[in-house]
Amino acid sequence: MKNIVLADALWAEISGLESPAPQGMGFVLDLAAAPALQPGLATVVLDRLQDAGNVGSILRSASALPIGCWRWSS
């Protein structure tokens, strides 16, 4: 994993939010390597997130359950 620090002005340009959070993070994922959705398997789907503030809570809750697949859409 590689950490890159972006200037606030650049982050504001690439963020879709009117007021990007100062603790913002961005990720580039190889979706080809992501597992395919499987029928009958409990799945968490996060789609077009605008405020990622609750993602940690969602992921911690899901990890306590038999969730076998994670998928994010763009």
pLDDT at site 3: 74
Asked if residue 74 lies in contact with residue 49, where contact means CB atoms within 8 angstroms, the answer is: no
List the beta strands (DSSP E) in 13-74.
43-46, 69-72
Q: pTM (2 decimals)? A: 0.40
Q: Which residues contact residue 40 at a Cβ distance below 8 angstroms, ignoring those fewer than 6 apart?
A: none
pLDDT at site 26: 67
pLDDT at site 56: 81
Q: What is the pLDDT of residues 9-61, one digit of tens each?
A: 887 777 766 765 666 666 666 656 656 677 777 777 777 777 777 788 888 88
